[in-house]
Amino acid sequence: MDSMEKDAIIILSGGMDSVTLLYEYKDAIALAVTFDYGSNHNRREAQYARMHCERLGIKHLIIPLSFMGQYFKSSLLEGADAIPEGNYDDENMKSTVVPFRNGIMLSVACGLAESYGLKRVMMANHFGDHAIYPDCRKAFVDAMSEAMRAGTYDGITIFAPYTGITKTDIARHGKKLGINYAETYSCYKGGEKHCGKCGTCRERIEALRDAGIPDPTEYEEQ
C-alpha cells in the first residue's frame, strides 16, 4: 500500500486492534467510521475512537446501526450480566457473536468508500478471532472483498493485514508505534473500568503481558 496516498476508510471501534491499525496506517487513512450497534461497550470504545481521530486529524463518523441491537440475538447486546467470564476461546465466547456483524459493517463502509472516492476498507480482525467469529476468518474476508470489488465501480477491496497474526503480535506493533493502550477499551461488559474477567479482558491482559508492555488498564479485578 502506498503510505502517502490517503485512499482508505478504517472501521474503528476504539479497541486495541483497530487503534493500532489506525496508527500503523494513518498516512493512508482518509476516513474512520465507528458503528453504534447497541453493544455493551460501544459508548466507551467510541470515545477513544473519536479522540484518536481528532489527535491524528482524520475525519471520523459514528453511524447508528440500532436495528442490530433491537433485532439480533447476542449476549454482547444484552447487558453486562449476559457476558461470560473466562478465557477467550470458542465455547466460552460463542454467545458474544453478533450475527454477520462484520458483513454488515463492511457493506456500509464499502458504500462510504465509494461515496468518498476511496479504494480500500481497513479492518483489524486477527488470528485469535478465527475460532469464535466466522466473519473474521480469511475465507470470509477474501470472499467479502471480492464481492465488494465486483459490486463497486471503483473495485473497492478489504485491507485486513492482521488476519494472520495474534493480538500479542498486534500489541508488539503498538509498542513500536508508542501507543498508550490506556487510551483504548476492550471489555465486553462495558463498565467504567475493565472488568478483568471476561474473555476480551483476559485476552487483553495476556497480549500486553506477552508483548512485554506494562498494562496501564484499570481493572475491577484480575
Q: What angle do CA 165, 170, 175 make, to 5 degrees?
A: 145
pTM for the whole thing?
A: 0.91
Query: Domain with 133 in it: what CATH number?
Result: 3.40.50.620
| 222 assigned to some structural domain | no
How many domains is the chain partitioned into structurally?
Answer: 1
pLDDT (0 to 100) of residue 1:
46
| Residue 90 belongs to some domain of the structure | yes
Q: Beta partners for 62?
A: 34
In a domain, 118, yes or no: yes
Angle between helix 42-56 and helix 16-24 axes, rounded to 10 deg: 10
Q: 60-64, 100-104, 141-145, 160-164: which range is least confident on average? A: 100-104
Q: Is residue 1 part of a domain?
A: no
Task: Extract the C-alpha cell encoding 218.
Answer: 484499570
- Average pLDDT of span 205-220: 96
Q: What confidence score (pLDDT) does residue 127 get?
A: 84
Residue 183 grid cell: 487510551
Residue 32: φ, ψ to 5°: -120, 145
Cβ atoms of 156 and 113 closer than 8 Å: yes
Q: What is the pLDDT of residue 83?
A: 61
Judge whether 66 lies within some domain: yes
Would you say residue 70 lies in a domain?
yes
Contact 11, 122 (CB under 8 A): yes
Q: What is the domain range of residue 147? A: 8-210
Q: Which residues pair with 120 in a beta bridge?
A: 8, 157
pLDDT digits (tens, 9 = 90+) for 18-58: 999 999 999 999 999 999 987 767 888 999 999 999 999 99
How do residues 156-173 score in pLDDT, each as one tens digit? Answer: 999 999 999 999 999 999
Bridge partners of 34, per DSSP, are 62
Is residue 219 included in any domain, yes or no? no
pLDDT tens-digit profile of 117-145?
999 999 999 987 656 788 889 999 999 99
Q: Judge whether 3 lies within some domain.
A: no
Q: Report the percentage of the chain scoring pLDDT > 70.
A: 86
Q: Which of 215, 174, 200 is nearest to 86 (CA)?
A: 200
* H or E element that contains 33: strand 29-36
Residues 50, 60 contacting (CB under 8 angstroms): yes
Helix (H, G, I), strand (E, B) or coil at 194: strand
